[in-house]
Amino acid sequence: GESVGLHLPTLSVQEGDNSIINCAYSNSASDYFIWYKQESGKGPQFIIDIRSNMDKRQGQRVTVLLNKTVKHLSLQIAATQPGDSAVYFCAEKGGETSGSRLTFGEGTQLTVNP
Q: Is 101 in the site for another protein (CB under 8 A)?
A: yes
In angstroms, the CA 114 to CA 93 distance is: 35
Task: Report which residue type is found at 41.
Answer: G
Residue 63: Cβ-neighbour burial (10 angstroms; 0-12, 13-18, 19+): middle
Q: Nearest-CA neighbor of 62 among 47, 46, 72, 51?
A: 47
Q: Is 49 in the site for another protein (CB under 8 A)?
A: yes
Q: Give residues 68-97 in contact with another protein (rule: CB under 8 A).
A: 89, 93, 96
Q: Is 45 in the site for another protein (CB under 8 A)?
A: yes
Q: Which is nearer to another protein, 43 or 114 (CB)?
A: 43
Q: Which is nearer to another protein, 18 or 100 (CB)?
A: 100
In angstroms, the CA 6 to CA 85 distance is: 20
Q: Give residues 7-26 in contact with another protein (rule: CB under 8 A).
A: 7-8
CA dihedral (22, 18, 66, 40) in degrees, to 10, reads 50
Q: Which is nearer to another protein, 5 or 114 (CB)?
A: 5
Smallest gap from Cβ 8 to another protein, in A, equals 6
Site of interaction with another protein (CB under 8 A) = 2-3, 6-8, 31-32, 34, 41-46, 49, 51, 89, 93, 96, 99-107
